Amino acid sequence: MKKFLMTTAVALAMTTTAYAQTASVEYMQTAQAESLLASDLLGARVYATETDAEINYSVGMETEWDDIGEINDVIVSRDGKIEGVVLGVGGFLGMGEKDVAVSMDDLRFISDGVEADEWFVVVTTTAEALEAAPAFEYRDEIESMATEISNDTAATMDNIETNTEVMADDVTAETGAMAATTAEALEDTGDAIEMEAEEMATATSEAMNDVEAEVEAEMSDIMDGFVMVDIASVAQEDLVGATVYGAEYDNVGEIGELTEAGAVVEVGGFLGLGEKQVLIPMEDLHVYAGADGEIRVHVVATEESLEALPEYEVN
The reply to whether domains 5-137 and 227-307 share a CATH topology is: yes
Spatial separation of the C-alpha atoms in residues 288 and 305, rounded to whole Å: 22
Return the CATH architecture of domain 227-307.
Answer: Roll (2.30)
Q: How far is CA 47 from the centre of its chain?
A: 30
Q: Taking a C-beta distance cutoff of 8 angstroms, is the pair 1, 72 a contact? A: no
Which superfamily, per CATH, for 5-137? Answer: PRC-barrel domain (2.30.30.240)
Mean pLDDT of 242-271: 87
**Long-range contact list for 254-258, CB < 8 A, 24+ apart?**
255/297, 256/314, 257/314
pLDDT, tens digit, 9 for 90 and up, residues 125-151: 887 888 788 888 877 665 666 677 778
pLDDT at 20 exceeding the cut of 50:
no
Percentage with pLDDT > 70 across the chain: 71
Phi, psi of 308 (to 5 degrees): -80, -10
Q: Taking a C-beta distance cutoff of 8 angstroms, is the pair 85, 41 a contact? A: yes
Nearest to 72 by CA among 58, 54, 91: 91
- Quote the DSSP letter at residue 311: P
Spatial separation of the C-alpha atoms in residues 192 and 92, rounded to whole Å: 73
Element (H, E) at 217: helix 190-222
How many DSSP H helices and E strands does the chain contain?
7, 15
The per-residue pLDDT for 265 is 93
Length of the chain in terms of residues written: 315
Percentage with pLDDT > 90 across the chain: 17
Spatial separation of the C-alpha atoms in residues 268 and 246, rounded to whole Å: 12
The per-residue pLDDT for 115 is 57
Across 153-157, 236-240, 246-250, 286-290, least confident range: 153-157
* Domain edges within the chain: 5-137, 143-224, 227-307
pTM score of the predicted model: 0.37
Spatial separation of the C-alpha atoms in residues 202 and 4, rounded to whole Å: 65
Burial class (CB in 10 A: 0-12, 13-18, 19+), 41: buried
Spatial separation of the C-alpha atoms in residues 114 and 47, rounded to whole Å: 20
Which of 70-74, 91-95, 248-252, 253-257 has maximum average pLDDT? 253-257
Q: Is 290 helix (H, G, I), strand (E, B) or coil?
A: strand
The runs of H, that is alpha helices, within 43-89 are 53-56
Nearest to 71 by CA among 50, 29, 102: 102
**Between 146 and 268, where is the model more confident?**
268
Spatial separation of the C-alpha atoms in residues 82 and 101, rounded to whole Å: 12
Spatial separation of the C-alpha atoms in residues 136 and 123, rounded to whole Å: 17
How many Cβ atoms sit within 10 Å of the Cβ of residue 305? 15
